[in-house]
């Protein structure tokens, strides 16, 4: 049974290596920043046209992102995009983080197949929305009580 599983695991890895870069595989197999942040300063949950969702939580101190985590029910590429995007925004101020684009995420991952490029767009949009949420909560902190995260 274990031999069969090991064989299957090898097969999956070989298939992944044909499709994805080493960086994508690393982030997909060992995703960073996967814990939810309680009492987050910024939060967003976006579902893409493919039906996959990314949620992002931010901890912000004086306009600087000091913590960033994600969750997704998407594919390996989506996991890699959430992982790398949350790494990219750490220690950035919100203006820098707002500028992160689909292309920045694709570049950090060394690219994605055409059919998965939208995963990077979803991650970039969710980061932006979480920062927008932070900005809104600073102006209207009472809204935090109605946030579902």
Non-local CB neighbours of 128 within 8 Å, separated by 6+ positions: 44, 98, 100
**Catalytic site residue 81?**
no
Determine, following the binding rule CB under 6 A, whether residue 52 of this chain makes contact with ligand FES.
yes
Single out the residue of 24, 97, 122, 127 in contact with ligand FES (rule: CB under 6 A): 122
Among 27, 74, 94, 109, binds ligand FES (CB under 6 A): 74
Provide the 3-class DSSP secondary structure of residue 93: strand
Q: The tokens of 83 are what?
A: 């992982």
> Is-catalytic flag, 75?
no
* DSSP conformational letter for 28: H
Rule CB under 6 A: say whether 78 interacts with ligand FES. Answer: yes
Measured from the Cβ of residue 93, the count of other Cβ atoms closer than 10 Å reads 13
Instruction: Please work out the total of residues on this chain that contact ligand FES, with binding judged by CB under 6 A.
Output: 11
Sign, Cα dihedral of 60, 65, 67, 72: positive
C-beta of 77: minimal distance to ligand FES in Å?
Answer: 5
Say how many CA atoms lie within 13 Å of 72 toward its Cβ.
Answer: 32
Q: Two tokens at 118?
A: 């939208």
Q: Exactly one of 48, 63, 92, 129 binds ligand FES (CB under 6 A); which one?
A: 48
- Catalytic residue of the set 63, 81, 119, 149: 119
Q: Give the range of 16-24, 99-107, 114-122, 127-135 binding ligand FES by CB under 6 A.
A: 114-122
Binding residues (CB under 6 A) for ligand FES: these are 48, 50, 52, 74-75, 77-78, 116, 118-119, 122
Q: Just list the catalytic residues.
A: 50, 119
């Amino acid at each position: 049974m274990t031999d069969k599983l090991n064989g299957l695991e090898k097969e999956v890895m070989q298939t992944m290596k044909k499709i994805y870069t080493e960086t994508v595989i690393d982030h997909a197999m060992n995703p960073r920043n996967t814990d939810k942040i309680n009492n987050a300063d910024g939060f967003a949950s976006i579902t893409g046209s493919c039906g996959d969702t990314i949620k992002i939580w931010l901890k912000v101190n004086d306009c600087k992102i000091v913590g960033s985590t994600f969750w997704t029910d998407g594919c390996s590429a989506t996991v890699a995009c959430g992982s790398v995007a949350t790494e990219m925004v750490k220690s950035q101020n919100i203006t820098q983080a707002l500028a992160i684009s689909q292309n920045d995420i694709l570049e950090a991952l060394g690219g994605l197949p055409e059919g998965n490029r939208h995963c990077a767009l979803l991650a970039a949009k969710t980061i932006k929305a979480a920062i927008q949420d932070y900005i809104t909560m600073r102006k209207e902190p009472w809204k935090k009580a109605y946030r579902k995260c």
